[in-house]
Every structure is written in structure tokens, then in C-alpha cells.
A and B are shown apart, each in its own frame.
Chain A
Amino acid sequence: MIIVFWIVLAGILVAIGITAASTIKTMRKPRWGIVPTDNLLKKEIIITTGGKTFHGFVYTSTDFTESPPMPGMLLLPDRDEKYPGFEHWAAIFALQGFPTLAVDLYGKKMLAAEFLDVVSTAFPSFKQALTENANVDPSGFGMLGFGESALAGLYAGSADDEVKAICCAGMPRADPSRVNDAMGRIFLAHCKDDTMAPLDEFEANKDSLGVGDRDYLLLDLGGHGFISQEAVIAGYFSIPVHKMLGLYYKQFTPTGVIET
């Protein structure tokens, strides 16, 4: 009879193990991943420039396949953000019609200064890669960067008149001498409790870059990763990108649809 005991006990322990594994899997599920919608098309590309190789993902929307060339967006995720953790940022702009290139910068093992140089030097190649892989109007680009990658995007984007909107989130202190006059093109978002790029660095950037009162968003909480504030950031940066790239969509009106 005691064999029944051992069988039942083993069964219960297996059930505990399965439940525990499922619980841990649920709790450790990454906050962001693949954006699973048929509206989004994705193409993986490799960009080789200056002896460095970058993996990139070009995102486009199925709603705009028959549209004329649209301005492009470049997404430079933070160095610690691994694919597909940044896909949701690319989806914002791609769904709005902007072909978007997200460059995977995860695991680039180099010092901050070298990283800045490498990424800002490669920036024109990113633009070119996007133009070659999507139906992009090369006269207008936008850029969204996070952390140190934002800094690299700022340095490169400010020197490039084709980059109409430079959106920087959680960006550390910028060296004003490396930023060309980009007043009116720079948009910042930051959280006051960011420990990687503290508030005083944001304040310094705001002043040195001449960022206007409506051109930044400063949130109380969220940290360097904008935890819980991602949707706010998504909405906030959509607005200057749309405005600066001067996009016109077909209009749905109470009396009918007007094609533009």
C-alpha cells in the first residue's frame, strides 16, 4: 500500500514543479517582444560600414503599401535593449506610415566614447540602408534614440539637414560642441528618477540644446527604461515626428474620404 503513497507524492511533486515552472515563466516574461499584428511587415537586413556590421530590421505598414514614398524613421535602441525588445518602438512609427529601421545595438562591447563615434559615423549608412530597403522619401527622416544611442543619433542627426526630427529619450549629457545648430528639431523625453542619466543631465541638455517648452516631456517616474510610461513616450514622440516631417494622410470626414 505504501507504494501508493510514493506514487501520489511523486504526482503531487511533479504538479508542483510544473506549476512553479509556469509561474516563473509568466513572471519572467519580457515586458516587450514581437508586435504580433498583420498590419506590420518586417525585413531583417545587415548593414556593413566602416568595418563594423550591424543587424537591422525594417518595419513597414501594410496600410501604406500603395502610398507614395514616405519619410523614414531611424530607431536607435539603448545598448542594453535586445531584439525583439525594441520592436514595439519601431511599430509606433511604422503603423503611422513611416518605414522604420531599427538598428540592433545590443552587445556592442566598446567604451561609451567609441560607441558614440561608431554609431554616429554609421548613421548615414543606416539612412542609406533604409532608403534601399523600403519606399522612402530620402529628403526627410526622423530619429528616435534611447540612452547613449540617442546621443549618437543627436550628434549625427544634428549635422544632417535631412533629419527633421531628433527624438532623444533618457539621453545622458550631450557635448554641445558636437551638436550642430538643430534648434527646433530636437525633442527630449526623460524621467526625473532616471539613475543612468540623472535629471541634471537632462536639464543641462535642455538648456544647451535650446529645447523649447513644448519640445520636451519630463515625467516624474519611470526610470531610465520608462517603465509604465512607454505608451506616453509613444504618443509624445509621434507628434513632433508627424509635425516635422509634414505628413498628410487621406482624410476621413463626416461626409466621406478625401484622398490626398
Chain B
Amino acid sequence: MDKELGFKRPSGINWESKFLQHFLVDVLMILGVPPVLVWLPVWIQSATSTDIGWQLAGQDWLPSLILMLAWFGLDIMLVRWVMAKMGEFSRFPIPTRSDQVTFEPVQIPVGANALPGMIVKGPATPSENAPVIIVCHGMGGRKEDYYPIGIPLTFLGFALLFYDSRGHGQARFGNKWDTAFIIKDFSKVVDFIFARAKVEGDLDASHVIAWGASMGGGIVMNEAYLDSRVKFCISVCAWADFMLTATRPLKTFMERVIKAGYEFMGINLNPTKLQNRMVSPIYNSFNRQKGFFDHPVYADINNDYRVMLAHCKDDAVVYYKNFEMNRDFLKMPRENYIVFDKGNHAFAGNETALVGKMMLWFWMRGY
């Protein structure tokens, strides 16, 4: 479309965003302007030929040079600080691999394209009719992100299907910002399981469970929830109202950095009301199921069985209010959710506890 309009924009950056524009200007001001300003006294001295006392060791340029270098040092420290803070989101840098677990790459058809998937099975996974958990990753993520959380479930007898959403990971089509399509693609993943169960018989299409975190949680709450072929849904740090979380007043500098990071990926964080309705479960899916023509219609849903949630109160990406809205909207029993005071969007330091709770949810549903 950009070509037809006669211009080309760098792929993936949401330049239209006022927030991103202001953020970049602010960053440039912080990083770049002071080192220029420190030369002002030198310029005043030389332009007016007056001595205002701006000199060290008889050199008027020396104080300005020292200040400029000091400011560059501060710039470097600020960048390092941001990198250290962002590093808190990457908690599992070492890949999870074991000879006891098999990894089978698959292609999940979506129209003329395909989403790369990975079926993971463990020694307890039955060779026929294995219940399946579909794992949905977050925005800007990839299927491998949740191997450490998902793989232990193979020892409970599940087959795990991890997949890259369009525009993510190894997917060769789509964009990271195609959120509504990414959500809708989930039904194709369920179609794939049904087709595979029929042909190969290794998967059990009557036991399909959806698990997702962040955007993956959004996928699960919007699309998997509506799909009666999915038995139940586990949604971690998911939004309730996308616009509410995307346009909220940001409290900290890191929240601004994170938002800018998403907009650098091209995500539209200022959706229209219609766009918001398409991706927000409280408007789109809750207490509904797909009816004729796949259109959501109100239905009598047993949410006590169907939905489990987890969230951290200090989540800087999908802020906590979203969890409260989901919980209250679904009138969830306390067994169905867990909240941590800290841990941010990655559940940092709480991953094992989350897995422990997750196992309980499976046992409470007969697995």
C-alpha cells in the first residue's frame, strides 16, 4: 500500500504514532542536545570577544570538551541501564533440550501460507490419541519462548503444539502488527490438529487445550475461548481491553521504553474502537461461542471450568487492571487464578510457582 501511495517507509516501524514521535524527540533531546549546549559559553566568548571565565588551564574549549565527554558517558550508562532492565524479561536464555523429548516440525496451513509449528512429545505422551496443548507466544516473540513452561507437560501425557504466529519467528508471511489476523489464525491451528488426528491418529482432537501468554493470552481469550473445540484456556498476563492497556498514562520511563519498543515493531497502540473490539475479549468473546458463520453468539459458558488466569501486579506491559477486569467479568473462583505482587510481564522469579499452579489446574480438570 505504501508503494501505491508513492512512498516507502522502513518496514515495521509505526512512524504514524504520535507517542513514538514524541518519545524519539525526547530521547534525542536528552542524548544529543546537552553535548551541543556545553559549547555555548565558548561560542559566546569567541563571538562577543569577552572573557566570561569559561576556561581551564588557559583553554576555553577544555571545560566544554570535558562536559561533552561526561555527558556521553552518562548517555552510555543510560543505554546500559535500559538494556539491563530489558534483560529482566529474558529469563530463560539457555534452550530446553532433552533426548527424551521429540521435536517434530510441522507446517500449519493458513490459506496459501503456512505457520511453522513444532509438535513436542515426551516419554509419557501416548503414541495414539494424545491430548494436545496449543501454546501461543507473545507479541514479538516466537514459538521457542515457552518451551521451558510447556515441555514438562509432555511428562503428564500431553503433546504440545508450539507455533509461530504470522509475522513472528520463522513465519514467512504477515506482519507483527496483524494482531486481529494473528488471533483469527488460532482456529486454523485447531483445524490442523483435527486434520492430523484424523490422518495420523497421534493427536486427540477431543482434548485440545489452549495456553497463551501476553499476546498469546489475547489469542487464547479471544479465539480459543470462542471455539467449542477447545476444552479450556489458560491465559497468562493477557489483556481484557486492548485500548485500555495500550493508551493508559505511563508511569515510568521504562514503560515508555517498552511502548516505544512495540511501536518500533509496528504495533498500532492507538486502535480505533472497531479495531479494539476485534482484539479485546471483554467485548469480543466472553460468554459467547462461535455460532453459524463462525460469528460469536451469546452462550451459556461454564467459565469456572473454561478459563484460568495469572498475572503480576507490577506488569509494565499489560497492566494489572486488565486481569481484574477479566477476573471480575468471568466471576472466577479463586482456584482459577494466581496473582504475584512482583514479577513484571515475564513472571520473573515466579515461573516455577506458576508451573506448579498450572499443574494443579490440569489435575483439577481430570488430567
Contact = CB atoms under 8 A, between A and B. Distances in A.
Interface string A14-37: 011001101100110101110111
B54 A1 contact: yes
A88 B353 CA distance: 6
A128 interface: no
A95 B353 contact: yes
Interface in B334-367: 334-336, 338-343, 349-360, 363-366
A13 interface: yes
Nearest to A25: B84
Interface residues of A, number: 66
A239 interface: yes
A231 B93 contact: no
Contact of B80 (A23, A32, A235): A23
Interface in A204-260: 213-214, 217-222, 227-236, 238-239, 242, 247, 249-257
Interface string A164-189: 00000000000000000000000000
Interface of B: 38, 41, 52-56, 63, 66-67, 70-71, 73-74, 77-78, 80-81, 84-85, 87-88, 91-100, 123-124, 148-149, 151-153, 155-156, 231, 302, 304-306, 333-336, 338-343, 349-360, 363-366
A13 B124 contact: no
In the A-B complex, the 5 residue pairs with the smallest Cβ-Cβ separation, listed nearest first, are A235-B152, A92-B356, A228-B94, A36-B341, A1-B53
Interface string A125-160: 000000000000000000000000000000000000
B152 A33 contact: no
15 contacts: A1-B53, A8-B67, A12-B67, A37-B341, A39-B338, A93-B356, A96-B356, A214-B155, A219-B97, A231-B92, A231-B352, A239-B152, A249-B363, A249-B364, A252-B364
A213 B66 contact: no
A255 B363 contact: no
A95 B87 CA distance: 28
Nearest to B339: A37
B97 A221 contact: yes
Interface of A: 1-2, 5, 8-9, 12-13, 15-16, 19-20, 22-23, 26-27, 29, 31-33, 35-40, 63, 88-89, 91-97, 213-214, 217-222, 227-236, 238-239, 242, 247, 249-257
Given A92-B356, A220-B98, A15 B84 contact: no
B94 A227 contact: yes
A132 B244 CA distance: 49
